[in-house]
Structure 1
Amino acid sequence: MTGTILTMGGGGFSMADDVSVPAPLDDLLLSLVPVPRGADGPPRVCFVGTASGDSPGYIERFETAFAGRAETSTVQLFDYGTIPGGDLRAHVLAQDVIYVGGGSTANLLVLWRLHGLDALLREAAGAGTVLTGISAGMNCWYDASVTDSYGPLAGLSDGVGLLPGSACPHYDGEAERRPTYLDLVATGRLPDGYAADDGAALLWRDGELVEAVSERPGARAFRVRRQGDEAVEEPLDVRLLA
């Protein structure tokens, strides 16, 4: 059982012009928490900024975006002293939502494994914590992904593996994302997978795709499969969030 995971190709507070205005994808995320763990309190949402080196500015945007709507906290692997009591496992398992920010997918995976955070997130998902993320925070949950962690876009077959296949965020947001991903799937360097435009996201429960959603009109999502020597895009129905 892998629990509930919302993978964002782009959007949410990370890409908002005004983080004080709730982003529809972030509203959806909070609605996925059936009963907050805190007694009569708001959902506990923890931001993991490993991929950006725990950027203070990114953390500040997160805290502003969820102020008054959630009990916010962070996991900062670059400053372990910020973790309450230094008990990473207890802190992670106490959260309703783990929100992973963008940045370097490769660096994120290395540090998570060094600290055992990948295993803790798997445990948390099985215990009911909702997992989510944008960009690298989308990539990390799948078996594989396309990333610019090494400079030019390339395949990375080294994900946490809670979700099947490969992932490509920013499908329409960066000119080389789509052609690179299609080539990687067509040549078998990445397995079949899923792509999401900026503003679009994929909602998964227990390893099964539930639906594709978007906070931006026209944002798309695709299932991408290898057929012979080509990659074929299968458009997914996308529900526009209010």
Structure 2
Amino acid sequence: MIAIGGGEIRYDETLAIDKEIVLAANKEVPEILFIPTASGEPQGYVESIQKLYGQKLGCKVKTLYLLNNQTSSDEAREMILNTDIIYVGGGNTKRMLQVWKQYSVDKSLKEAYEKGVVLSGLSAGSICWFESGQSDSNTYEQGVKSPYIRLKALGLIPGLHCPHYNEDNRLEEFDKMVQESSEVGIAIENNCAIDFKSDEFRIIKSDKSSKAYRIYKVEDNLIHDELTNINEYKSIDRLFNIN
């Protein structure tokens, strides 16, 4: 499972990470299923994935369309379970999770995880694998905009997750979320990813300056452990065990 913090795929910003996703399938010509629900399934995004993973990285690319009743729950499950790689695109995480539930995609993705399908994604496609995550919000409370909300996700990885940690004021807002909870926060900047394999993890970067962090609370203090230079697989306990 490879969770990417962010980056523009149309400009090949995550190319080094994308190559690792393809290698993880361990097949000469892997099949990848793109799920663009979060962004509203725009054709331009589909074409960018086709160009990157199809033309450049040599995969057979398929797209799972869920909006406008284009696919049944059974058809979605069949596509999800009969592929080598799943790549979930970025966009509106809340809307994506709501649509997934309608088509039982959340359950099918958990089946794919158990089956050993490579799971990956960027932004919303990174949040979805965690227990919960920081997502954009358009809600207003007492006239003041709340830029981010906390969403419960699929729970395949424990902890609270923040992609795009180096964008806008996400750092400050995510740190508040961690401060208010007893959970470990996993923050990933753009052009950086965490590769989870069995009970281990490592960091993959397409930009050497990009970083990932483990954030947790000790009494009233917030601790930021930089994970950036973990190139070899380490025990996942290093992420979630703070004792």
Determine whether 1:44 maps to 2:31: yes
Could you say if the C-alpha distance between residues 209 and 107 of structure 1 is closer, same or farther in structure 2, counting changes exceeding 3 Å?
farther
Q: 2:44 aligns to what? A: 57
Conserved? CA contact 2:14–2:191, under 8 Å: no
Shift >4 Å, 4+ stretches: none
Determine whether 1:136 maps to 2:132: no
Could you say if the C-alpha distance between residues 17 and 52 of structure 1 is closer, same or farther in structure 2, counting changes exceeding 3 Å?
closer
Q: Distance in 2 between matches of 1:9 and 1:239?
A: 16
Q: 1:166 aligns to what? A: 160
What is the CA-CA distance between 1:50 and the residue it aligns to?
0.6
What is the CA-CA distance between 1:18 and the residue it aligns to?
3.4
Cα deviations by residue, 1:176-224 (Å, 9 ceiling, x for unpaired): 0111111110122x72221111010001123x34101111021001111
Alignment: residue pair count: 223
Q: 2:185 aligns to what? A: 193
Determine whether 1:8 maps to 2:4: yes
Cα deviations by residue, 1:18-69 (Å, 9 ceiling, x for unpaired): 35x981111010000123xxxxx61000110010011111111111112231
User: TM-score when scaled to structure 2?
Assistant: 0.85
Pick the aligned partner of 1:100 from 77, 80, 88: 88
Cα deviations by residue, 1:99-124 (Å, 9 ceiling, x for unpaired): 00000111111111111001101101
Q: What code does the residue aligned with 2:60 have?
A: E
Q: Secondary structure in 2 aligned to 1:201?
A: strand
Could you say if the C-alpha distance between residues 227 and 153 of structure 1 is closer, same or farther in structure 2, counting changes exceeding 3 Å?
farther
Q: What code does the residue aligned with 2:154 have?
A: V
Determine whether 1:202 maps to 2:189: no
Pick the aligned partner of 1:75 from 60, 64, 73: 64
User: TM-score when scaled to structure 1?
Assistant: 0.85
Conserved? CA contact 2:10–2:48, under 8 Å: no
Determine whether 1:28 maps to 2:20: yes
Conserved? CA contact 1:146–1:153, under 8 Å: no
Conserved? CA contact 2:9–2:48, under 8 Å: no
Q: 1:66 aligns to what? A: 53
Q: 1:38 aligns to what? A: none
Pick the aligned partner of 1:220 from 211, 215, 218: 211
Conserved? CA contact 1:144–1:155, under 8 Å: no
What is the CA-CA distance between 1:237 and the residue it aligns to?
3.6
Could you say if the C-alpha distance between residues 88 and 52 of structure 1 is closer, same or farther in structure 2, counting changes exceeding 3 Å?
same
> RMSD between aligned alpha carbons?
2.2
Q: Which runs of 5+ in 2 are unaligned?
A: 140-145, 232-243
Q: Secondary structure in 1 aligned to 2:159?
A: strand
Q: What code does the residue aligned with 1:225 have?
A: Y
Q: Secondary structure in 2 aligned to 1:226?
A: strand
Query: Once the two structures are aligned, what percentage of the paired residues are identical?
Result: 27
Q: 1:90 aligns to what? A: 78
Q: Distance in 2 between matches of 1:124 and 1:137?
A: 15
Conserved? CA contact 2:135–2:151, under 8 Å: no
Could you say if the C-alpha distance between residues 29 and 64 of structure 1 is closer, same or farther in structure 2, counting changes exceeding 3 Å?
same
Could you say if the C-alpha distance between residues 157 and 147 of structure 1 is closer, same or farther in structure 2, counting changes exceeding 3 Å?
closer
Q: Which runs of 5+ in 1 are unaligned?
A: 36-40
Q: Distance in 1 between matches of 2:34 and 2:94?
A: 18
